[in-house]
Amino acid sequence: MVDDRYLIALKTLAVLGATVAMLYGLYKVHARLAAKEQGFGPNSIRALGIVMFLPILFMLALLTDFRPEALTALLGTIAGYVLSDSSPKDS
């Protein structure tokens, strides 16, 4: 069996990696908005939401005892949010 200390260290490393990935993603979104001299709109809020929510979902999968169905539902919510089109329809 794997030692509990080893498993805790591995989970800690994974959470730190997800946190670094989230912070790097936030930096890249901010840098892109600054380069385009663009403010916050629906697409930039969507990008920030994705960059923050996916690592948090990864951390939840590691650190909690959520059932796989709950995590799949959360991932499906993200997919629906990303693939949805919020622009007004032309009549």
Please give the backbone phi and psi of residue 27, each rounded to the nearest 5 degrees, phi first. Answer: -65, -45
- Count the domains in the chain: 1
Supply the pTM of this predicted model.
0.75
Helices first, then strands: H and E counts in the chain: 3, 0
Percent of the chain exceeding pLDDT 90 equals: 25
Average pLDDT, the chain: 86
The boundaries of the domain holding residue 54 are: 21-83
Q: Is residue 14 part of a domain?
A: no
* Alpha-carbon distance values, 43 to 59, 74, 84 (Å): 25, 20, 11
Structure confidence at residue 19 as a pLDDT band (50, 70, 90): very high
Residue 2 placed within a domain: no
What tokens were used for 10? 């591995």
Q: Cβ–Cβ contacts within 10 Å for residue 55, how many?
A: 20
pLDDT in tens, 45-86: 888 888 988 898 888 888 888 888 988 898 888 888 777 776
**pLDDT at res. 1:** 64
